[in-house]
Chain A
Amino acid sequence: MKRISLFLLAATCLTQAQAAGIKIVATTTDIADIARAVAGDTAEVSSITTGREDPHTLTAKPSFIVRARDADVWIRVGMELEVGWEPVILRDARNDRIRESAPGHIDASAHVIRLEVPTQRVTRDQGDVHPLGNPHYWLDPLNGRMIAATIAERLSALYPERKSDFEKNLHAFERDLDTHMFGAAWVEACGGDALWKALVEKRLDALAAEKGVAGKAGGWYAALLPHQGKTIVTYHRSWPYLAERFGLKADIQLEPKPGIPPSAKHLAEVVENVGARQAKVILQEPFYNTKAAEFVASKTGARVVIAPTMTGGSPEASSYLGMLDNVTGKLSAAL
């Protein structure tokens, strides 16, 4: 009896020690980094993936279950990206706070702009097509903003006493992101919200002219502006959001169908298309094999660019904004 009560005491101590700050566990590093910016210093934020692995295929390791067990808030990318492992972690964690229907379970995709939402019935003959749309949405910086606002909104509902902190943090993050995107001059003159709105409505130049800052664009936008309309080849369909936002065309993939490895026949077609459309860059994530890309490069003279789609995917991509810095920098240098 004595032994049991000692053990229970130890167990209680452990649980109490863990209740100090808000424990947020995000499935991927990008979501974790944005959550960190929004939740502030008092929260303990960690992510399941490191940013170096393929987020589609992951094993629900026991250590993940322990972290989910202790989490107050769980944030996922959603759109079925984690469908192969999140359900197991959530089931085995036995944590009522973060069950899919609980307020502590946040789907970061709830309010994002989606691309490639299938309008027809999806069959697996089409490869790994996500019925809810392409889940790589965080590569659109505007969606980064939406993720942050979604997290801030839910955290404010969960912890109303810290609402003002979350809002302050959110605005700081948005300003930081806007500055990275458009440069300080434009953000100063026009304001971030107005700039994004204008970008979506394709009247950025008019806005800049109106505010007297025409030609003073900076950041990622300015870096990729000269390359608008150019075609990039990608391994997987992980880049449409980035391409769409920056006016690039990313409709040639090395994979014949999503999640299906490159075949010789398909690569021959790719080589033809790359030549016809004068694509200069083959873009892919670090975890994919580079053989197919190198083959196409050798036949066409296009350059293989390895860039992470996730925070932590390369040493330079140490934060969400750093990752986008890295990607846009590599692209503008290679295009």
Chain B
Amino acid sequence: MKTTYSHARALVAGAVFSFYATLSSAQTGGDARYQKLEDEVKALRQQMTAMQEQHTREMGELKALLLKQSGVTTTGAVAQAGSAAPPAVAPVTLYDSLKQSAETLVTQAGAGKGADLDLSVVLDTYFYHDTADEAGTLPNRMRGFRSAGESEGPENGFNLREVELGLSAEVDPYFRAWATVSVNEDSAGFEEAVMQTTSLPYGLTLSGGKIKSGVGRLNRQHSHVWDFLDAPLVYRAMFGEEGLSGDGVQLTWLAPTPFYLLFGTEVFNGDNEQSFNVSDADGMPSHDAPRLYTAFMKTGPDLGPNHALQFGLSGLSGRHQVWDEENEGGADGESRILGADFVYKYSAMRSHGEGDILVQGEYFYRDQDLDHTVAAWEGLPAWTAQQDGYYVQGLYGFLPRWRTGLRWDQVGLINDVTSPEEGDLSCGASYRLTSVLDWKLSEFSLLRLQAGRGWYATDDGREDAWECALEWQVTFGKHPAHDF
């Protein structure tokens, strides 16, 4: 900075001199003297210009040198240095020079990223009201689909559905992992805790841990991505509100076909209160895990940019036990489920889902043959059941971020249940029609109004009810991208 200082001193000296010169010229006057003074001023001006030029050049060179040393070469620096500095300072090509400047910027921007662990939280709460005698219980009391466990529905009033805490990361070059902890008023536990291979050959992927089964369509999805607040009745009946998940392993294979074709198979310990239950009652035979095997496939043609279609088939087979606490009788045997699902999505190619259509449906058929009767039921005929259920839903984006839709639920079109003691239970069918209106304020928040009417066949006869709910859901943190 010595240059700057001496330069400033010269400027001040020059200014003082010319001030005195002007003063003296005003006092004395006279052409010759005036001419002489003018010449002197001119000379001074020239001197100053030369000094200024020298200064600028020196500063430019200094800057270029500094930039060269720190390895930063911005386009601006090239411009300044370009006038005087030797061309060797500037990078060879335009691409290289811009590349360098971009790199410094990227490093700066990426510096705060920290460890590669994505953490996200979903808060999901809703206000619920239905007109049933015992609010929130009807879907759990459908005749023939009794749950082995204590499943409770929502209560009239505010319900905190869950606080879902999600963690995910790439573990190393071989595995990725994610875990989802779900906390609600009744319980807390791992919804999922999965490790998964990332680099098996031949399109194979192996997952292990606590897995949400890949059967059906809704089953794998977390409840906060469903299009309706609650699960369809057929899911309640076959797998329970939370769907089928468990400790086990899953192997999937993406076939090398020109269209999408995925096969998967799973082995689970098998403890699902609806369909693959193990009872701890005395006298009930115990079976070592694994007790549940599943297989599924998903496929879909490429229908162009506006459409997407996917079909799926699923099969499940596992051990199931029924224990009747009142009569102290039990039955043990096989439970099998077959399922089919489809989803069609239309994209209108407008922003935020305006004009988009979604149609989706799933069907499940369950066949239970529990021929090993024990305790009070010993010697009596087997517990058998053939039951099914389905749902179809459609949604339409009538404005950007706004959707409305309808869902039709039916359970027990086939509902033949034979109890060892009571014989044919003659169960009827249950129906439900639900409408929904949702508003995604942003990618991270949602308000949803849902209203419907259900017609249920329960153990106490037919019961009808109006059901409605207003849901408020937010997501924060870094939530992983959603599947198809």
Q: Known contacts A11-B255, A59-B308, A69-B254: does B352 contact A54 (CB below 8 Å)? A: yes
Contact B442 A62 (CB under 8 A): no
Contact A96 B102 (CB under 8 A): no
Contact B442 A111 (CB under 8 A): no
Contact B310 A62 (CB under 8 A): yes
Contact B308 A62 (CB under 8 A): yes
The answer to whether the Cβ of B99 comes within 8 Å of any Cβ in the partner chain is: yes
Contact B82 A201 (CB under 8 A): yes
Spot the interface stretch: B256-264, B267-275, B330-338, B463-471: B256-264
Q: How far is the CA of A54 from the CA of B305 in the complex (A)?
A: 12
A207-248 interface code vs B (CB 8 A; 1 in, 0 out) = 000000000000000000000000000000000000000000
Q: How far is the CA of A89 from the CA of B482 in the complex (A)?
A: 10
Contact B254 A197 (CB under 8 A): no
Name B's interface SS.
mixed
**How many A residues have CB within 8 A of the partner chain?**
59
Q: How far is the CA of A30 from the CA of B443 in the complex (A)?
A: 25
B335-366 interface code vs A (CB 8 A; 1 in, 0 out) = 00000000001010111111000000000000
A63 contacts which of B75, B94, B302, B480 (Cβ < 8 Å)? B302
Spot the interface stretch: A128-136, A181-189, A264-272, A317-325: A128-136
Contact A57 B102 (CB under 8 A): no
> Which of A61, A88, A99, A203 counts the most chain B CB atoms within 10 A?
A61
Contact A288 B305 (CB under 8 A): no
Contact A54 B205 (CB under 8 A): no
Residues from 60 to 93 in B contacting A, C-beta threshold 8 Å: 75-76, 78-79, 82, 93
A110 contacts which of B78, B102, B255 (Cβ < 8 Å)? B102
Contacting residues, chain B, for A145 (C-beta < 8 A): 94-95
Q: How far is the CA of A313 from the CA of B18 in the complex (A)?
A: 67
B308 contacts which of A63, A87, A287 (Cβ < 8 Å)? A63
Contact B109 A201 (CB under 8 A): no
Contact B350 A289 (CB under 8 A): yes
Contact A61 B204 (CB under 8 A): no
Contact B259 A114 (CB under 8 A): no
Q: How far is the CA of A11 from the CA of B255 in the complex (A)?
A: 8
A144-181 interface code vs B (CB 8 A; 1 in, 0 out) = 01100100000000000000000000000000000000
Q: How far is the CA of A85 from the CA of B298 in the complex (A)?
A: 19
Contact B258 A261 (CB under 8 A): no
B79 contacts which of A14, A201, A261 (Cβ < 8 Å)? A201
The answer to whether the Cβ of A117 comes within 8 Å of any Cβ in the partner chain is: yes
Shortest C-beta distance, A119 to chain B (Å), equals 9
Contact B352 A57 (CB under 8 A): yes
B400 contacts which of A83, A99, A289 (Cβ < 8 Å)? A289
The answer to whether the Cβ of B10 comes within 8 Å of any Cβ in the partner chain is: no
A146 contacts which of B99, B176, B350, B351 (Cβ < 8 Å)? B99
The answer to whether the Cβ of B110 comes within 8 Å of any Cβ in the partner chain is: yes
A117 contacts which of B109, B199, B345 (Cβ < 8 Å)? B109
Contacting residues, chain A, for B476 (C-beta < 8 A): 124
The answer to whether the Cβ of B419 comes within 8 Å of any Cβ in the partner chain is: no
Shortest C-beta distance, A333 to chain B (Å), equals 25
Contact A196 B203 (CB under 8 A): no
A54 contacts which of B79, B109, B351, B484 (Cβ < 8 Å)? B351
Q: Known contacts A66-B260, A66-B302, A201-B82: does B443 contact A128 (CB below 8 Å)? A: yes
Contacting residues, chain A, for B78 (C-beta < 8 A): 197, 201
Contacting residues, chain A, for B94 (C-beta < 8 A): 145, 193, 196-197
Shortest C-beta distance, A116 to chain B (Å), equals 11
Contact A61 B483 (CB under 8 A): no
Contacting residues, chain A, for B93 (C-beta < 8 A): 193
> Which of B108, B443, B444 counts the most chain A CB atoms within 10 A?
B443
Contacting residues, chain A, for B347 (C-beta < 8 A): 53, 59
Contact A94 B98 (CB under 8 A): no
The answer to whether the Cβ of A260 comes within 8 Å of any Cβ in the partner chain is: yes
Contacting residues, chain B, for A259 (C-beta < 8 A): 442-443
Q: Which B-chain residue is minimally distant from A192 (CB atoms)? A: B94
> Which of B108, B256, B310 counts the most chain A CB atoms within 10 A?
B256
What's the interface size class on B, roughly?
35 or more
Q: Known contacts A14-B257, A62-B308, A69-B203: does B483 contact A149 (CB below 8 Å)? A: no
Q: Which B-chain residue is minimally distant from A131 (CB atoms)? A: B109
A287 contacts which of B109, B176, B310, B351 (Cβ < 8 Å)? B351
The answer to whether the Cβ of A15 comes within 8 Å of any Cβ in the partner chain is: yes
The answer to whether the Cβ of A84 comes within 8 Å of any Cβ in the partner chain is: yes
Contact A200 B95 (CB under 8 A): no
Contacting residues, chain B, for A54 (C-beta < 8 A): 349-352
Q: Known contacts A62-B298, A117-B105, A201-B82: does B480 contact A57 (CB below 8 Å)? A: no
Q: How far is the CA of A85 from the CA of B484 in the complex (A)?
A: 9
The answer to whether the Cβ of B401 comes within 8 Å of any Cβ in the partner chain is: yes
The answer to whether the Cβ of A303 comes within 8 Å of any Cβ in the partner chain is: no
Contact A124 B444 (CB under 8 A): yes
Contacting residues, chain A, for B484 (C-beta < 8 A): 59-62, 88
Contacting residues, chain B, for A87 (C-beta < 8 A): 480-481
Q: Known contacts A54-B352, A57-B351, A111-B99: does B300 contact A63 (CB below 8 Å)? A: yes
The answer to whether the Cβ of A249 comes within 8 Å of any Cβ in the partner chain is: no
Q: How far is the CA of A86 from the CA of B482 in the complex (A)?
A: 10
Shortest C-beta distance, A68 to chain B (Å), equals 10
Contacting residues, chain A, for B350 (C-beta < 8 A): 54, 287-289
Q: Which B-chain residue is minimally distant from A196 (CB atoms)? A: B94
> Which of A49, A59, A62, A289 counts the most chain B CB atoms within 10 A?
A62
Q: How far is the CA of A288 from the CA of B352 in the complex (A)?
A: 9
Shortest C-beta distance, A234 to chain B (Å), equals 14
> Which of B258, B352, B354 counts the most chain A CB atoms within 10 A?
B352
A60-79 interface code vs B (CB 8 A; 1 in, 0 out) = 11110110010000000000
Contacting residues, chain A, for B354 (C-beta < 8 A): 289
Shortest C-beta distance, B248 to chain A (Å), equals 20
Contact A111 B98 (CB under 8 A): yes
Contact A289 B351 (CB under 8 A): yes
25 contacts between A and B (CB under 8 A): A49-B305, A52-B305, A52-B349, A54-B350, A59-B484, A62-B260, A63-B259, A63-B303, A63-B308, A65-B254, A88-B484, A91-B198, A92-B254, A110-B102, A111-B99, A114-B105, A114-B106, A132-B109, A133-B105, A145-B95, A193-B93, A261-B352, A288-B350, A289-B354, A289-B400
Q: 6 closest Cβ contacts across the A-B interface?
A: A62-B260, A63-B302, A201-B79, A111-B99, A61-B308, A62-B300
Residues of A within 8 A of B (CB): 11, 14-15, 49-50, 52-54, 57, 59-63, 65-66, 69, 83-88, 91-94, 96, 99, 101, 110-114, 117, 124, 127-128, 131-133, 142, 145-146, 149, 193, 196-197, 200-203, 259-261, 287-289
Question: Can you add 18 more A-B contacts, CB < 8 Å, to A94-B200, A197-B94?
Answer: A54-B351, A60-B481, A60-B483, A61-B345, A63-B303, A69-B254, A83-B481, A111-B103, A112-B102, A114-B109, A124-B444, A124-B476, A128-B443, A133-B109, A146-B102, A193-B93, A197-B97, A261-B401
